[in-house]
Chains A and B, each alone.
Chain A
């Protein structure tokens, strides 16, 4: 289709063949990244190390680094290489668009190519851009006119691109080189938008009282850049935070005290990926890291009543899955923070999803209780039977908890009464309780199949 063209097209092709045409075209072959190593933390923060070969002249060089993360934190950039010392670093994110191109051309001369609508003949003239406010005001020779005032086609061709405007955010570093040649250099920076979590698939077998757990690392990359063929290291633990401020859930009953041979960084566990991998932009990638079969687990019911809590209708108890991460009788692994999804087999043996919950970073040897949902058939109806005042600062409260079980087998419910503030004594109870702490008391209540059990307790409160 290279039909007969104007003289300028011929010129264009000639120039192309001449080889002076855009050097940028050569970048198309692939990424400008070198040997990339990525360390990914749980909090969506990542450390990228990029070893590139730079060709420098002796003295000052301005080096551009395309294909860095578009979300790079420029204050964390370091560049090191033999004989290189950094003069300045710039991260330019002023993006090149047509209106900025015109705006920066104010005061400069551009080329206009007009096409005669009747004959199709093209005419070229030079014009000076006087202003670009709302519309474009041009000076052509001695005339002043507005670009495309008559609505006829006019191509505006610019001689050059303005400096500092780029198609993509670009990092540029000015260095002093002691000698010329090719220098191995290491660029490292932190970037958000590249993070990981763990996802667990737990298949629970009630009859055997066991779970099979598979763990997958889920990487998510939305940095705008693909990291090709990268050595990848995952760090379980979030830098910053701690001190009990960010508890994800109450899944851990007791923190463990065991450890294994897994590599550590400070107090964090490291999970290196076995092979190099490419983490593409806008990709979610999963790699397996844990596979444990037949760890003991049991399903339990829990209900915690708040102080003076009562209900006109029975309330579902929580279904809780209990297991351990210890080496003896458990998973024998530490669990990075993530989501555990629990599955069970239905009557035909097909797995079905029965609930999920988040866990925090869990050391090995921890006792876990994972709340997966509400029990349909096991319910509690708490009643405040009476509250009697026995003086200025003393009350006697009678509670009744009616536990019902519509299942064909007997169950045991962990019933708790919370909020026992002040000096609370239990003066009378229908079932022996365990005082867990000053403000919580627990009963293990057996409820017969298709039956009900009442638990009554009298609390004597002084404050």
Chain B
């Protein structure tokens, strides 16, 4: 609808007669999608939290295949049923034999306010119904002001504000203005040498999609291996569904620049405002002093609890279902420097919906259980719990050896005959060959404390005594980062960042002391 004036405009150059031009430029509406592929990219800023179901912050690259009947000569091709969050500057139309003249995205929408806006200074029919007699009176009127701040109409009697008399009044418009459309629509102007049926590909980026990787790690009874299942959760926050789509997801971080918000349709909602309507009998009520709010801390905290509860219910992703024997997922494809996962079967990407499919399933992945900490001398005196860390190696010999997209890991363990959650950890993108650490929980059973000891050369050195305690009935393998230079540089210790990695075993139900001498003036 909206493309018409535009066509008109261009055609007017060739034939100044508007009516002729209107006939010359055909409008072709394409509403059927023959085939669609949706590639979802994760929200760049979301580190590990759940997807925002109201409007997912990632985006998708959508490839639609459509069949259109093009008439000979110039025509406007309108694509209906595209994704709600379409970024028009990214739209590409392939397959048109003679190319695209221009692309337009129009946001002047058909709405009550849009109608008033379009009919401003134009004639409408004003209809009044007498409530008692049922008699309907029609009258010609011209809209003199609106839609923002109320509507003023001019009749033969004078000027009136619409909806201020208390009488039933309504406006009747002769027709829908040509340049208002029901939805923001993408249209292209094309020129075809001959009438033909063509298959076009419409490719665009759209906001309002997101995906997340979730892993479920089930620890074997002996604690030495885990079974790892990865799930992909895909969310579509828009109003458009893509049935029977080829769904792909892309892992890795790519650069996405800020897209400015699109121009909005000018009027908002139509509010018929009048002059002040105060009368003598309403007046005293307006003089009541306002109710003074007071802070009730108890009430606040109660509310907070409630809100959090709602959030969990509303926001948290559905807990991954217990893994049934999953279909063999396809390994990731390299797409440039990103990882491309093709879901091996067709799925429906539903509007306002989330969907989960299996990303990977690996059994018998050996893990190492460690207790990890960084030595913070500022926390001297108080015991600090260490972090329970499960370490896997992303190598083929260790049962993995594949790209692991960033996501949350939930670790489960069997306690008796019950499957219990040990903890959750966030991991970043891990390439093949990398160390994968799941920092699951703080362990109250294994703690460290540090205190400073006097040193004979206090200008150059400081001494720290580290005490590790183990309240478990088995040995604890501890990995502690020492973030300063050590006197007598250790031999064969791993470096991580600028820190030294101190590996030590704390015997079961025992403690262990060790003194480190810090070089204050560097190595």
Contacts and interface: CB of A to CB of B under 8 A. Distances in A.
A350 B63 contact: yes
Interface in B328-365: 333-340, 342
B123 A28 contact: yes
A204 B336 contact: yes
B455 interface: no
Interface in B132-165: 132-133, 135-140, 142-146, 148-152, 154-161, 164-165
Nearest to B402: A406
Nearest to B12: A229
Interface stretch (B77-85, B99-107, B293-301): B99-107
Contact of A27 (B121, B252, B481): B121
Given A98-B274, A383-B498, A168 B256 contact: no
Interface in A173-215: 197, 199, 201, 204, 206, 214
A103 B123 contact: no
Interface in B8-52: 8-10, 12-13, 37, 39, 41
A292 interface: no
Contact of A132 (B10, B88, B275, B489): B275
Contact of A101 (B5, B152, B155): B152
A155 interface: yes
Nearest to B405: A376
Given A3-B136, A373-B252, A376-B431, A120 B130 contact: yes
Interface in B427-450: 428-429, 431-435
A360 to B, nearest CB: 13
B265 A226 contact: no
Nearest to A150: B279
A interface, size bucket: 35 or more
Given A2-B138, A352-B335, A283 B106 contact: yes
Interface in B78-130: 88-92, 99-108, 120-123, 127, 130
A153 B167 contact: yes
A374 B283 CA distance: 66
B381 to A, nearest CB: 26
A387 interface: yes
A12 B155 contact: yes
B interface, size bucket: 35 or more
A427 to B, nearest CB: 15
B275 A103 contact: yes
Given A1-B136, A118-B132, A312-B496, A285 B157 contact: no
A146 B280 CA distance: 7
Contacts of B245: none
A328 interface: no
- Give the interface centre of B120, B164, B265, B275 by most chain A CB atoms within 10 Å: B275
A168 B338 contact: no
Interface in B160-188: 160-161, 164-167, 179
B102 A356 contact: no
Given A11-B156, A120-B130, A199-B90, A97 B142 contact: no
B499 A276 contact: no
B273 A372 contact: no
A99 B276 contact: yes
Nearest to B279: A149
B497 interface: yes
Interface string B410-435: 00000000000000000011011111
B517 to A, nearest CB: 16
B275 A136 contact: yes
B252 A376 contact: yes
Contact of A312 (B135, B485, B499): B499
Contacts of A49: none
A241 interface: no
A233 B265 CA distance: 25
B459 interface: no
Nearest to A390: B522
Contact of A155 (B89, B167, B496, B523): B167
Contact of A9 (B139, B275, B495, B522): B139
A406 B433 contact: yes
Given A146-B279, A312-B496, A284 B252 contact: no
Interface in A327-348: 339, 341, 344, 346-347
A400 B498 CA distance: 10
Interface in B242-268: 248, 250-257, 262-266
A96 B335 contact: no
B278 interface: yes
A450 B394 CA distance: 13
B136 A385 contact: no
Given A278-B8, A404-B433, A155 B253 contact: no
A255 B104 CA distance: 33
A158 B155 CA distance: 10
A286 to B, nearest CB: 4
A207 to B, nearest CB: 12
B159 A12 contact: no
A373 B255 CA distance: 5
A222 interface: yes
B61 A387 contact: no
B198 interface: no
A102 to B, nearest CB: 4
A179 to B, nearest CB: 29
Contacts of A226: 5
A333 to B, nearest CB: 18
Contacts of A224: 266
A378 interface: yes
Given A149-B279, A354-B336, A156 B6 contact: no
- Give the interface centre of B89, B148, B485 by most chain A CB atoms within 10 Å: B89
Interface in A89-127: 95-99, 101-103, 110-111, 113, 115-120
A154 B336 contact: no
Interface in A285-306: 285-288, 299, 301
A182 B143 CA distance: 30
Contacts of B522: 386-389, 395
Contacts of B5: 226, 228, 278, 280
B292 interface: no
A218 B144 CA distance: 35
Given A101-B275, A387-B485, A280 B2 contact: yes
Contacts of B92: 201, 214
B154 A276 contact: no
Contacts of A378: 337
Interface of B: 2, 5-6, 8-10, 12-13, 37, 39, 41, 61, 63, 88-92, 99-108, 120-123, 127, 130-133, 135-140, 142-146, 148-152, 154-161, 164-167, 179, 203, 205, 248, 250-257, 262-266, 273-281, 283, 286, 333-340, 342, 403, 428-429, 431-435, 481, 485, 489, 495-499, 521-523
**List of 4 A-B pairs having minimum Cβ-Cβ separation, nearest first:** A373-B254, A135-B278, A12-B156, A278-B9
19 contacts: A3-B135, A22-B154, A24-B142, A97-B150, A97-B273, A98-B164, A98-B273, A99-B275, A115-B132, A135-B277, A218-B88, A276-B9, A278-B6, A278-B10, A288-B102, A314-B434, A354-B335, A373-B255, A376-B251
Given A98-B151, A161-B152, A353-B41, 6 more contacts: A27-B122, A98-B164, A134-B283, A277-B6, A346-B342, A373-B255
